[in-house]
Amino acid sequence: MEFKSRLYLILAGIFIASLISANLIFQKFFTWSPFGLYTFELSVGILPYPITFLVTDLISELYGKKKADQVVVSGLVASVFVMGVVMLANVAPQTDWSPVDNETFSKVFGLFGPAVFASMIAYLAAQFIDIRVFHFWKRLTKGKHLWLRNNGSTIVSQLVDTSAVLILLCGSGTIEWIRFWPLLANGFLFKVLVALFDTPLFYLGVWALKDKIHEDPDEADWEKLSFKQEAI
């Protein structure tokens, strides 16, 4: 298998693993006070989720929009499959000696269905918006300014994702509406900060891999500029 295909599979694997782990661990919430300036109250599911946007931006840059869309669809299929497995496990009767009883398992995974349903709707909207905004900025800047398309696409899509999932969860009664604005502010601000911090990783990934990957044939000729030209 050539390097291009191996790398694509690795990136897709990281994307799907980050997405599914975020959906599995979301019910625990934590606080974080960076330098004592502000206290975030966030679901631990938010920790791996921003990685998915970094990966789709890398795939968009290295392979093109079509390959990025394929990874997003693959993530949806994997999430639906895992949701089915978890729901089946939740209704399976326990043995007398089971270390985890039905009540404990249901408490951890019982809300997995409605929460992931909300998350998947938000996920599809946000990821497809992220990919399209990324390529919009790439066309507009003629392949220059990596930082603009990386952060511009992620910030817009993260606002859509955070808003959509909270609206669906509050509307279904999973979370009280009184928590909507604090969670929206906390979640969106955290994701924006992560997007800014992962920009050097995006530059590093493109710099290290751009010359080793042949662009998708459906991309325009100007997209075949080297990283050095794009970063001007």
- Return the minimum-mean-pLDDT range out of 19-23, 35-39, 80-84, 194-198: 35-39
Domain-located, residue 221: no
Could you give the number of structural domains in the chain?
Answer: 1
Domain-located, residue 21: yes
What confidence tier does 228 reach under pLDDT thresholds 50, 70, 90?
Answer: very low
Domain-located, residue 88: yes
Domain-located, residue 228: no
pLDDT at 133: 94
pLDDT at 214: 61
Range with the largest mean pLDDT of 6-10, 39-43, 155-159: 6-10
Within 10 Å of residue 20's Cβ, how many Cβ atoms?
Answer: 18
- Which residue range forms the structural domain that includes residue 198? 3-26+47-93+100-213
Domain-located, residue 31: no
- pLDDT mean over 214-218: 51
Domain-located, residue 111: yes
Domain-located, residue 39: no
- pLDDT mean over 132-150: 92
Domain-located, residue 40: no
What confidence tier does 57 reach under pLDDT thresholds 50, 70, 90?
Answer: very high
- pLDDT mean over 174-178: 86
